[in-house]
Amino acid sequence: MNEPRTDTRNPASSSDLEALRACFSGRLLLAADDIAPFVSDWRRRYLGSAIAVAQPDSAEDVAAVVRWCAAHRVPVVPQGGNTGLVGGATPDTDGRALVLSLTRMNRIRTIDPVNNTVTADAGCVLATLQQAAAEAGRLFPLSLAAEGSCTLGGNLSTNAGGVQVLRYGNTRDLCLGLEVVTPAGELWSALRGLRKDNTGYDLKQLFIGAEGTLGIITAATMKLYPRPVAQITALAALPDVASALRLLEMAQRRLAASLTAFELISGICLDIVERQFEDSRRPIPGRSPRYVLLESSDFESAEHAQSLFERLMSDALDAGVITDAAIAASIAQSQAFWALRERIPEAQTRDGNNVKHDISLPISAVEPFVRTTDAAIERAFPGARMVTFGHLGDGNLHYNVAPPEGTSFSDFKRHEPALNRLVHDAVASFGGSFSAEHGLGQLKVGENVRYKSALDIRLMQAVKHALDPLGLMNPGKVLPAQPS
């Protein structure tokens, strides 16, 4: 964890801060106790400091705050639900930055069920957006474990993925328009719900996935979809990753676009979940090296969905692709199946934590990557346990390495740099990415420089300098901070 500096001199005078307070509606937090929750990530891996926390009420207020920051050369760290895993919303330790929290900007602005769009503030919690869509008879398909606290702006800033990327794509694919405050404090609005708009550069794409380094997203227009008539969930046991890929091919051929989720889970993951949550029990007897949680969204009928799923599971069993399966017979059972998957992150923390990797690979490369990299880790770190799970349908794995039984994580953590290098080198050799859906933040800036080409970095720096010449927007994230 980064330790805060004791010298946190405020670069802004009290009169400057009074001027800031007067220029926007909302709250300005100045007391240390009020600021404290906003200067640490939720895992307590990063701990920074800030001159203040601004919580504006509108996009115009955000623009006013950013103009003040530009005039006073104060770095801006935008923050949504603060659920990130890479320190992207945490200020550094020099105490010069202002945290700009968007949580008060949480309105659903409009829902257009005919155009299948919703426009919402960046501080809107993802679960609230899902519920609003459901009440309008529509589906907003972005779904991830932190949906009860993460926000739309954070989802866009990190191009979040989640469990339904297989069918609906990443957050980028769901976005039709943005409203953004630029580093100069100008309010750029392109909240048009258009699916075709070929009028030059698609500027919104610059800000999606940029983690607040190019501007601050204040609102977005997102795609909605018809709600499925039925959703069927199943958990299948398999001997290995190769079998999981065979099942994926069968499921895509049989279910086509109705296949909305396909999650790979190692047996170790479920062992940890069952150990840490007494009410969690896998619905399949015995133990298996691998499991797949898959879900189908059907637009015809529940009977049709059930029939397709039962036939798929039966044929996969007959072909030796799976060794057993359970199909949820009720919403409660489906929720229990999903709880096994969604509890994995918390169960890992309770169990003693591990070295985490958020990687993506061509789907065809997943099996050889797992096979060869598991073996390499066992050779280098005998007894290490592979806590592997993720969205196999889009090639995204959370490829985590836990200490051998009886070894504390504090002792094992000294191997983290060597483990990261081993895993990320292997990912690169298979044509993959060392950051799939969590973003870069401050955790992976060095990896970005290591694995991106020099030209990639120069082009990214050119875009950064063109939009943020003062280097005030979330400095030290995504790219190394440039000397002033």
Same-domain pairing of 246 and 335:
yes
Give residue-wise pLDDT tens across range 168-178: 999 999 999 99
* Per-residue pLDDT, 396: 94
Same-domain pairing of 296 and 320:
yes
Give residue-wise pLDDT tens across range 374-417: 999 999 999 999 999 999 999 999 999 999 999 999 999 999 99
Same-domain pairing of 282 and 210:
no
Same-domain pairing of 359 and 424:
yes
In this prediction, residue 162 has a pLDDT band, given cuts at 50, 70 and 90, of confident
Give the mean pLDDT of 459-477. Answer: 96
* Position 210, amino acid: A
In this prediction, residue 13 has a pLDDT band, given cuts at 50, 70 and 90, of confident
In a domain, 76, yes or no: no
Same-domain pairing of 117 and 219:
yes
Residue 418 has pLDDT above 90, yes or no: yes
* Per-residue pLDDT, 43: 79
The residue with tokens 């081993």 is 422
In a domain, 67, yes or no: no
Percent share of the chain, pLDDT over 90: 84
CB 471 within 8 A of CB 481: yes
In a domain, 142, yes or no: yes
CB 237 within 8 A of CB 306: no
In a domain, 180, yes or no: yes
Domain range for residue 393? 352-429
Q: Where among 345, 367, 401 does a domain terminate? A: 345
Residue 328 CA to residue 72 CA, distance in Å, equals 58
* Per-residue pLDDT, 482: 67
Number of domains in the chain: 3
Give the mean pLDDT of 47-70. Answer: 97
Same-domain pairing of 240 and 339:
yes
Same-domain pairing of 335 and 374:
no
Instruction: Please list, residue by residue across 147-165, b when 16 or more beta carbons sit within 10 angstroms of its beta carbon and e when fewer do.
Output: bebbbbbbbbbbbbbbbbb
Q: Where among 293, 327, 345 does a domain terminate? A: 345
Q: What is the CATH number of the domain that holds 242?
A: 3.30.70.2190
Same-domain pairing of 239 and 339:
yes
CB 6 within 8 A of CB 94: no
Q: What is the CATH number of the domain that holds 119?
A: 3.30.465.10
* Per-residue pLDDT, 5: 36
Residue 300 has pLDDT above 90, yes or no: no
* Per-residue pLDDT, 7: 38
- Residue 242's contacts (CB-CB under 8 Å, 6 or more residues apart) are 367
Give residue-wise pLDDT tens across range 104-138: 999 999 999 999 999 999 999 999 999 999 999 99
What average pLDDT does the chain have? 93
Q: What is the CATH number of the domain that holds 379?
A: 3.30.70.2740
In a domain, 124, yes or no: yes
Same-domain pairing of 333 and 239:
yes
In the beta sheet, which residues pair with residue 398? 358, 389
Give the mean pLDDT of 429-455. Answer: 94
Q: Where among 189, 206, 226 does a domain terminate? A: 226
In a domain, 1, yes or no: no
296 C-beta neighbours (distance < 10 Å), count: 27
Same-domain pairing of 115 and 127:
yes
Give the mean pLDDT of 244-249. Answer: 97
Give residue-wise pLDDT tens across range 191-208: 999 999 999 999 999 999
Of 6-20, 373-387, 452-466, where does mean pLDDT reach its minimum? 6-20
| Residue 189, both tokens | 């609005």
pTM, two decimal places: 0.91
Instruction: Please list, residue by residue across 9-24, b when 16 or more beta carbons sit within 10 angstroms of its beta carbon and e when fewer do.
Output: eeebeeebbeebeebb
